[in-house]
Amino acid sequence: MLSFEASVNSNVVKKLKALIVDDDTITRMILKALLMKFGVETHEAKNGQEAILAHHSGACFDLILMDLYMPVMNGHQTTKELRDMHVCSLIVGMTSQEKEEEKKSFMDAGLDYYY
Protein backbone atom coordinates (compact mmCIF):
# COMPACT_ATOMS: atom_id res chain seq x y z
CA MET A 1 0.00 0.00 0.00
CA LEU A 2 1.34 3.48 -0.90
CA SER A 3 2.23 5.75 2.01
CA PHE A 4 -0.20 8.63 2.48
CA GLU A 5 2.39 11.16 1.25
CA ALA A 6 3.26 9.13 -1.82
CA SER A 7 -0.40 8.72 -2.66
CA VAL A 8 -1.00 12.47 -2.49
CA ASN A 9 2.06 13.22 -4.60
CA SER A 10 1.51 10.51 -7.17
CA ASN A 11 -0.76 10.57 -10.18
CA VAL A 12 -2.93 7.84 -8.67
CA VAL A 13 -6.55 8.83 -9.30
CA LYS A 14 -8.02 6.79 -6.44
CA LYS A 15 -9.58 9.09 -3.85
CA LEU A 16 -7.95 8.71 -0.45
CA LYS A 17 -10.19 7.91 2.50
CA ALA A 18 -9.61 9.19 6.01
CA LEU A 19 -11.29 8.46 9.33
CA ILE A 20 -11.31 11.20 11.96
CA VAL A 21 -11.68 9.73 15.45
CA ASP A 22 -12.32 12.50 17.97
CA ASP A 23 -15.05 13.24 20.51
CA ASP A 24 -14.82 17.00 19.88
CA THR A 25 -17.17 18.23 17.13
CA ILE A 26 -15.12 21.37 16.42
CA THR A 27 -11.93 19.35 15.92
CA ARG A 28 -13.72 16.98 13.55
CA MET A 29 -15.14 19.92 11.55
CA ILE A 30 -11.74 21.55 11.17
CA LEU A 31 -9.91 18.35 10.24
CA LYS A 32 -12.67 17.44 7.77
CA ALA A 33 -12.39 20.86 6.06
CA LEU A 34 -8.59 20.56 5.96
CA LEU A 35 -8.62 17.07 4.44
CA MET A 36 -11.31 18.03 1.92
CA LYS A 37 -8.97 20.77 0.65
CA PHE A 38 -6.67 17.92 -0.40
CA GLY A 39 -9.55 16.01 -2.00
CA VAL A 40 -9.62 13.37 0.73
CA GLU A 41 -12.93 11.64 1.42
CA THR A 42 -13.54 11.91 5.16
CA HIS A 43 -15.50 9.86 7.65
CA GLU A 44 -15.97 10.51 11.34
CA ALA A 45 -16.19 8.60 14.58
CA LYS A 46 -16.98 10.20 17.94
CA ASN A 47 -15.00 7.63 19.90
CA GLY A 48 -12.88 4.54 19.50
CA GLN A 49 -15.83 2.16 19.69
CA GLU A 50 -17.43 3.79 16.61
CA ALA A 51 -14.09 3.49 14.81
CA ILE A 52 -13.85 -0.23 15.63
CA LEU A 53 -17.47 -0.82 14.56
CA ALA A 54 -16.80 0.92 11.24
CA HIS A 55 -13.94 -1.49 10.59
CA HIS A 56 -16.04 -4.52 11.62
CA SER A 57 -18.59 -3.36 9.01
CA GLY A 58 -15.91 -3.63 6.35
CA ALA A 59 -14.79 -0.01 6.03
CA CYS A 60 -11.12 0.64 5.42
CA PHE A 61 -9.17 3.86 5.38
CA ASP A 62 -5.86 5.12 4.07
CA LEU A 63 -5.47 7.45 7.04
CA ILE A 64 -6.85 7.45 10.57
CA LEU A 65 -6.50 10.57 12.73
CA MET A 66 -6.82 9.39 16.31
CA ASP A 67 -7.49 11.56 19.36
CA LEU A 68 -6.10 10.18 22.63
CA TYR A 69 -8.66 11.12 25.25
CA MET A 70 -12.19 10.09 24.30
CA PRO A 71 -15.12 8.69 26.25
CA VAL A 72 -16.25 5.05 25.77
CA MET A 73 -12.94 3.95 24.21
CA ASN A 74 -9.78 6.07 24.17
CA GLY A 75 -7.25 6.43 21.38
CA HIS A 76 -4.64 4.18 22.98
CA GLN A 77 -7.04 1.25 23.32
CA THR A 78 -8.53 1.84 19.87
CA THR A 79 -5.16 1.95 18.14
CA LYS A 80 -4.08 -1.27 19.84
CA GLU A 81 -7.33 -2.99 18.88
CA LEU A 82 -7.11 -1.83 15.25
CA ARG A 83 -3.56 -3.18 14.99
CA ASP A 84 -4.68 -6.46 16.59
CA MET A 85 -7.33 -6.58 13.81
CA HIS A 86 -4.43 -6.24 11.32
CA VAL A 87 -5.62 -2.81 10.17
CA CYS A 88 -2.65 -1.40 8.27
CA SER A 89 -3.92 2.15 7.75
CA LEU A 90 -1.60 5.02 8.53
CA ILE A 91 -2.64 5.99 12.08
CA VAL A 92 -1.67 9.46 13.30
CA GLY A 93 -2.20 10.28 16.98
CA MET A 94 -3.39 13.72 18.09
CA THR A 95 -3.33 15.14 21.56
CA SER A 96 -2.35 18.30 23.41
CA GLN A 97 -0.86 16.26 26.28
CA GLU A 98 2.74 17.18 26.93
CA LYS A 99 3.80 14.28 29.16
CA GLU A 100 6.47 12.31 27.30
CA GLU A 101 5.49 8.98 28.86
CA GLU A 102 1.91 9.39 27.62
CA LYS A 103 3.10 10.23 24.12
CA LYS A 104 5.45 7.22 24.11
CA SER A 105 2.71 4.92 25.38
CA PHE A 106 0.38 6.16 22.62
CA MET A 107 3.08 5.58 19.99
CA ASP A 108 3.72 2.09 21.40
CA ALA A 109 0.02 1.24 20.92
CA GLY A 110 0.69 1.23 17.18
CA LEU A 111 0.74 4.77 15.83
CA ASP A 112 2.75 5.63 12.73
CA TYR A 113 3.10 9.29 13.65
CA TYR A 114 2.20 11.60 16.48
CA TYR A 115 0.99 15.22 16.16
Partner 1 sequence: MEQIQRKLAEYTASLYNEKILDEQFIQLQQLQDESNPDFVVEVVSLFFEDSERLLNELAKALNQTNVDFKKLDANVHQLKGSSSSIGAQRVQRVCISFRNYCDDRNVEGCLKCLQQVKIEYTLVKNKLETLFKLEKQFVDAGGSFPVV
Residue-by-residue DSSP string for 73-87: S-HHHHHHHHHHTT-
**Cα 108 from Cα 91, distance rounded (Å):** 12
Binds partner 1 by CB under 8 A, chosen from 25, 41, 85, 105: 25
Site for partner 1 contains 72 (CB under 8 A): no
Rounded to a whole number of angstroms, the minimum distance from the CB of residue 21 to partner 1 is 15
> In which element (H, E) is residue 42 found?
strand 41-45
Which residue lies nearer to partner 1 by CB, 57 or 96? 96
> Given the rule CB under 8 A, which of 11-19, 29-37, 41-49, 76-84 is the region that contacts partner 1?
29-37
Nearest of 75, 17, 83, 18 to residue 46 by alpha carbon:
75
Q: Is 8 exposed, middle or buried (0-12, 13-18, 19+ CB in 10 A)?
A: middle
> Given the rule CB under 8 A, which of 12-20, 21-29, 72-80, 103-111 is the region that contacts partner 1?
21-29
Rounded to a whole number of angstroms, the minimum distance from the CB of residue 30 to partner 1 is 6
Q: What residues numbered 36-65 form the site for partner 1, per CB under 8 A?
A: 36-37
User: How far does Cα 68 stand from its chain's mean position?
Assistant: 10
Rounded to a whole number of angstroms, the minimum distance from the CB of residue 36 to partner 1 is 8
Site for partner 1 contains 33 (CB under 8 A): yes
